């Protein structure tokens, strides 16, 4: 899955198979500022699900929540 765009942000998902035949996914977030692209790595936790699609869906849904929280309270700073 490539970058997804949500409310001016880019969601960059990553999914990898696990040793126990499941999938683990997480997302980084990126936004373009006056200083260039700023990437927040590890914006979501790892979501382990039976299929790649399920893992990606869970991670991307959490990334959208993170973006909504930042927009609602701009003083939040991601690590």
17-61 pLDDT, tens digit per residue, is 999 999 999 999 998 777 877 877 777 899 999 999 999 999 999
Q: Does an H or E element contain 66, and which?
A: helix 52-72
Please name the residues in contact with 19: beta carbons below 8 A apart, sequence gap of 6 or more. Answer: none
Prediction pTM value: 0.84
- Phi and psi for 3 in degrees, rounded to 5? -60, 140
């Amino acid at each position: 899955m490539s970058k997804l765009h949500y409310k001016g942000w880019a969601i960059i998902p990553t999914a990898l198979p696990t040793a126990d035949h499941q999938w683990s996914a997480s997302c980084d977030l990126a936004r373009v500022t006056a200083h260039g692209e700023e990437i927040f790595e590890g914006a979501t936790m790892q979501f382990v699900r039976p299929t790649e699609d399920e893992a990606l869906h869970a991670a991307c849904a959490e990334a959208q929540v993170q973006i909504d929280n930042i927009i609602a309270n701009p003083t939040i700073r991601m690590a």
